[in-house]
Amino acid sequence: MDEHKKYPNKLGIIGWLGGGRWGIERYLYTLHRITGLGILLYFCLHIFVTSSRLFGMNAWEKWMGFFKSPIFKMGEFLVFVGFAFHALNGIRLILIEFGFAVGKAEEPVYPYKSSLNTQRPLMVIVMVVAAVLIVAGGYQFLGFVH
Amino acid sequence: MAKKTQKETDIIFYIHRFNPDVDSKPYTQKYTIRVEPGMTVLDGLHLIKETQDATLSYRFSCRMGVCGSCGMLLNGRPSLACNTQILDITMKNLTVAPLPNFNIVKDLVPELTPLFEKHISIHPYVIQNKTDEMLDPTGEFYQSPEELTKYLQFSYCIKCGLCMAACPTLATDSEYLGPQPMLQSYRYSIDTRDDGFDKRKKVVGNTHGVFRCHYAGECSNVCPKGVDPARAIQLMKRELVLDYLKIKKHRSTSFIMGKPEGVKRRPEIPKAPPFTVEQK
């Protein structure tokens, strides 16, 4: 059996992105990972930019001027959106990991209901709070609040 | 879900083919069959094999959703071919592919060996410290209906591999245990007859264990038996955290319930037939 050639059928990153009739929690999973990587990238850039102060006031001013452009303002807003989603969804995941909101084991009766149904109200609340935060943040970033 | 029809319909099957002796990578082959209401995907594959292409390979056994052999990717969703009716999921085209996250042996046959190896690694059996009692039983280990309910749901697993194919974490991390073995680790650890939590936590609590699960929940969505691996994994995480913080409640193993004393046999119950082999 083992000497036969086999084809590796790993989904890889495509496995994150879909390609199927998936549930909403799977998209949150993907978004959680993407926003996590985005925040990590921002963190690296942030360290790089703030370290420019080591090279004198001129270098600092140059970088700060560079980031005043509208594109970077929009980028900052996207970082905020990613952060708001990642933080709140992370709280949901921590609660679930401690066994809250997933319910107890029960006899499976068709049509099956799973822990996903049990935790869905929590997911809806968390996403509503994230949306409110993002909208409030949008007001700030778009300059309605000074 | 497509609207169910009561008429016979022509359905085009796009089947992923791969012959390891000839092909370097899988390709798609098209077949058209006449589908009657109630026909399952497995029925469709049988029809294709009987009438159009005898070289088509797929795995099946019981044909009634019990053995877990015919797991396939049907229109992008891991499902059992035998309990999925064609007209429930499509009115026109049906893509049939082998389960992802497993190597392809041939056509629609995945290599499930990693699933079974990981399953074995978590010690999927009751580990009992009372070795004397295990070798020479004096009674039964008592378990209340409430204690049974804690793991009964998780014991319905048929090891079909659908949850492993649906898991996005397993798609990028081959070392990750996956939903099925982690589910089993909780199923046995929560069993009141079992003393094996400490042995299993070394396997499921490591880098590629339960804490890599971020609750995509797809394992529970695709499970054909309603076993809910996602729930078991989260509950296992809680057990591990409580154990790490040293606040896990000590659970004593089931007591041994001896044979009833002072009870007379009811007359309507017939005597057991004589032994057919010699007793020591």
- Supply the DSSP string of B137-186, one letter for each residue: --SEE---HHHHHHHHGGGG----SHHHHH-HHHHH-TTS--HHHHHHHH
Distance CA B221, CA A112 (A): 9
Q: Answer yes or no: is A14 within a domain.
A: no
Q: Is residue B271 classed exposed, middle or buried when 0-12, 13-18 and 19+ CB atoms within 10 A define those classes?
A: exposed
What total of structural domains would you count in chain A? 1
pLDDT at residue A1 above 60? no
pLDDT at residue B1 above 60? no
Q: Find all residues with CB under 8 Å of B132, minimum gap 6, and list them.
A: none
Q: Is residue B278 classed exposed, middle or buried when 0-12, 13-18 and 19+ CB atoms within 10 A define those classes?
A: exposed
Distance CA B77, CA B129 (A): 42
Q: Answer yes or no: is A4 within a domain.
A: no
Residue B265 is predicted with a pLDDT of 83
Residue B43 host element (H or E):
helix B41-51
- Region A101-129: mean pLDDT is 94
Q: In which domain, by residue range, is A87 found?
A: 21-141
Residue A74 is predicted with a pLDDT of 86
Q: Answer yes or no: is A25 within a domain.
A: yes
Give residue limits of the domains in chain B: 9-110, 113-250
Residue B77 host element (H or E):
strand B77-80
pLDDT at residue A3 above 70? no
Per the model's pLDDT, the better-predicted residue between A144 and B68 turns out to be B68
The size of the A-B interface in CB pairs under 8 A is: 151
| Backbone torsions φ then ψ of B259, nearest 5 degrees | -70, 145
Distances from the Cα of A70 to the Cα of A77, A139, B14, B41, B244, angstroms: 10, 15, 48, 54, 48
> Binning pLDDT at 50, 70 and 90, where does residue B15 land?
very high
Q: What is the pLDDT of residues A126-138, one digit of tens each?
A: 999 999 999 998 8
Establish if A4 touches chain B: CB-CB under 8 angstroms: yes
Domain B113-250 bears CATH identifier 1.10.3720.10: no
Q: Answer yes or no: is A11 within a domain.
A: no
Q: How many CB atoms lie within 10 A of CB B224?
A: 21
ipTM of this model? 0.88
Residue B111 is predicted with a pLDDT of 96
Q: What is the pLDDT of residues B93-112, one digit of tens each?
A: 999 999 999 999 999 999 99
Q: How many CB atoms lie within 10 A of CB A146?
A: 4
Nearest CA in chain A to B76: A20
Q: Answer yes or no: is A1 within a domain.
A: no
Q: What is the pLDDT of residues B114-127, one digit of tens each?
A: 999 999 999 999 99
Partners of A13 on chain B (C-beta within 8 Å) are 171-172
Q: Answer yes or no: is A75 within a domain.
A: yes
Task: List the 58-87 stretch of A: residues with Cβ below 8 A of B.
Answer: none
CATH code of the domain containing A103? 1.20.1300.10
Per the model's pLDDT, the better-predicted residue between A97 and A14 turns out to be A97
Q: What is the mean pLDDT of chain B?
A: 93
Bridge partners (DSSP) of residue B74 are B77, B96
How many Å lie between the alpha carbon of B136 and the closest alpha carbon of chain A?
33
Of B154, B156, B172, the CB nearest to A12: B172
The CATH number given to B9-110 is: 3.10.20.30
Q: What is the mean pLDDT of chain A?
A: 88
Q: Answer yes or no: is A146 within a domain.
A: no
Q: Is A97 close to B238, i.e. CB distance below 8 A?
A: yes
Q: Answer yes or no: is A125 within a domain.
A: yes
Establish if B228 touches chain A: CB-CB under 8 angstroms: yes
Task: List the 99-138 stretch of A: residues with Cβ below 8 A of B.
Answer: 99, 102-110, 112-116, 118
The alpha carbon dihedral of B42, B48, B54, B57 has a sign of negative
Partners of A112 on chain B (C-beta within 8 Å) are 223, 225-226, 228
Establish if B241 touches chain A: CB-CB under 8 angstroms: yes
Q: Are B83 and B60 in contact (CB under 8 A)?
A: no
Q: What is the pLDDT of residues A55-91, one digit of tens each?
A: 888 888 888 888 888 888 888 899 999 999 999 999 9
> Binning pLDDT at 50, 70 and 90, where does residue B279 land?
confident
Mark out the alpha helices in chain A (DSSP H runs).
Answer: 14-17, 24-50, 57-66, 70-97, 115-141
Partners of B166 on chain A (C-beta within 8 Å) are 20
Bridge partners (DSSP) of residue B35 are B9
- Comparing A3-17, A97-111, B5-19, the range with the smallest average pLDDT is A3-17
